[in-house]
Amino acid sequence: MVNVSSPATTGELGLASSARGHDGLAVARTASASGAALAREARARQARVLASLTVSDRSFLEVVLGPGLELADGASTEEIGASPLAAQVAADRDSGQLPQGCPIDIAYVRLLAGFSVQDETGTPQPLLGPRQYDRARRYLDEHGGRATIDFRT
């Protein structure tokens, strides 16, 4: 976050309502630099999530997210690391709702199915589509109702 002082306000948002001019340009540049730093941080976080996926995580996410994602040799794992499901699982782990090695069961998949994420246009999209939910349910049914997701970050 960027602290910006102006005659109008002091805050953490990096957006100050001040007259256009040299100061306004400096604020815009600072906000732009802050946005680039946040984007780099997000990419680094995705890389950490991706690196922390175990084989069982990858097989579970591959089943949930559908065929066409080659996970065994890490060929398309960026798609998994950047997926809303991986991000939600990582966020739940980071917040303490999902301890390391916590089994993921049907109830958790149902919980995930109720989440929405915003796409590039800001439109809410379901985290799991109906087919993804069905694939996850079938996978968990075939594996005793659970899949162990072990994030090692």
Could you report the per-residue pLDDT of 45-81, keeping only the tens digit for each? 655 655 555 556 656 665 665 544 333 333 344 555 5
Count CB neighbours of 76 within 10 A: 13
* Residue 146, strand partner residues: 105
Would you state the pLDDT for residue 62?
A: 59
Would you state the pLDDT for residue 75?
A: 34
Calculate the average pLDDT of the chain.
Answer: 58
Query: From CA 74, how far away is CA 90, in angstroms rounded?
Result: 19
- pLDDT tens, residue by residue, 84-139: 666 676 677 677 666 555 556 566 666 666 666 666 777 766 666 777 777 777 77
* Helices 106-113 and 84-94, packing angle to 10 deg: 110
Domain boundaries, the chain: 1-52, 53-153
Would you state the pLDDT for residue 130?
A: 76
In the block, tokens 């306000």 appear at: 9
Query: From CA 72, how far away is CA 69, in angstroms rounded?
Result: 9
Query: From CA 129, how far away is CA 112, in angstroms rounded?
Result: 10
Would you state the pLDDT for residue 20?
A: 44
Query: From CA 69, how far away is CA 61, in angstroms rounded?
Result: 9
CA distances from 84 to 95, 143, 151 (A): 16, 23, 16
Reading the block at residue 111, the tokens are: 């919980």
Q: What are phi and psi of 47, to 5 degrees?
A: -65, -40
Cα 106 to its chain centre, rounded Å, is: 21
pTM of the model: 0.38
Helix (H) or strand (E) holding 84: helix 84-94
